[in-house]
Amino acid sequence: MTEAREQEPRTVFRAGWQVYRERLPELVDRRHHRRAVRVGIVVAVVAFAGLLLLGAFVERLDGAVPVAAGVVVALLVAAGIGCVGAALTPIGPRGWSLPPVPGIGWRTQEAIARYFRRNPPPVAPEHRDAVLQGMPATRDLLVRAAYRSLFLTGGWIGIVLGTLVFDVASSVGSDTVILFPGVWLFSIVITSGTGVIGIRTLGRQEQLRVEAEALPPVPPAPRRGRPDSPSGSKLALPGE
């Protein structure tokens, strides 16, 4: 039992990664992907030129960083900024968002939320339709968020590496400059964690889909009253 619980996160993540790879080409086609890459390249080139100009100006003031190290720093930071620009590029139709799910009470929502936790209970038959309702829209939202998080993670890695190179090459090494990598390292954890959690949620969602579809559909609630009784008001109008 313990071994099965230890292998469950790996299985969930593997299933989520498979869903991500299958859905990504349909959600982010080659045209949108190439546009995001082109935007990232343009942003990186502009940032690289601006950082070189800024470095040349700073070099005249104190000359704390060698020219070669300054070029490497500018290249790494510009690549990181370009990745951030690619992540902010629109990759879907305008106004795309997760629509609200009507007809689900708060008790049912709490029950469905328990299915996404660690060691979840089996899907109850009465929750079958609620689990499947809105699942494709939620799945696509998670795939898009994971796609953007990959670019954001690469961007923060480039910025952190550039700052670390600057710290090593700088002879001053002031406290303000050394503080920045720690803050940006926290940003790496946040952005990468968003992608990892999203892929894991995709895997759990896929398991819930298979489990819910294996259940028989819930029959509609029986109609109140006799089958042959007329619907509507039972009060007689004047003259009837």
3-state secondary structure the chain: CHHHHHHHHHHHHHHHHHHHHHHHHHHCCHHHHHHHHHHHHHHHHHHHHHHHHHHHHHHHHCCCCCHHHHHHHHHHHHHHHHHHHHHCCCCCCCCCCCCCCCCCCHHHHHHHHHCCCCCCCCCCHHHHHHHHCCHHHHHHHHHHHHHHHHHHHHHHHHHHHHHHHHHHHCCCCCHHHHHHHHHHHHHHHHHHHHHHHHHHHHHHHHHHHHHHHCCCCCCCCCCCCCCCCCCCCCCCCCCC
pLDDT of the residue at 128: 81
More confident residue, 51 or 234: 51
| The pair of three-digit structure tokens given for residue 106, joined into one six-digit string | 């708060």
What is the rounded average pLDDT for all residues in the chain? 76
- Whether pLDDT at 51 is above 80: yes
Q: How confident is the model at residue 80 (pLDDT cuts 50, 70, 90)?
A: very high
Percent of the chain past pLDDT 90, that is, above it, reads 14
Percent of the chain past pLDDT 70, that is, above it, reads 69
Give 198-234 pLDDT, tens digit per residue. Answer: 888 888 888 888 888 887 876 665 655 555 555 555 5
Task: Give residue 155's Cα distance to chain centre.
Answer: 15
Give 128-169 pLDDT, tens digit per residue. Answer: 887 788 788 788 888 888 898 989 999 988 988 888 888 777
Q: Give the up-direction half-sphere exposure of residue 38: CA atoms within 13 A in the CB hemisphere.
A: 8
- Whether pLDDT at 117 is above 90: no
Question: What is the spatial distance between Cα 67 and Cα 115, in angstroms, rounded to a whole number?
Answer: 56
Give 81-98 pLDDT, tens digit per residue. Answer: 999 999 988 876 554 454
pLDDT of the residue at 226: 55
Backbone angles phi, psi at 239, to 5 degrees: 90, -5
- Whether pLDDT at 5 is above 50: no
- Whether pLDDT at 19 is above 80: yes
pLDDT of the residue at 1: 39
Instruction: Report the pLDDT averaged over residues 10-34.
Output: 87
Q: How confident is the model at residue 193 (pLDDT cuts 50, 70, 90)?
A: confident
pLDDT of the residue at 3: 42
- Domain coordinates in residue numbering, the chain: 2-93+105-213
Instruction: Report the pLDDT averaged over residues 78-83.
Output: 93
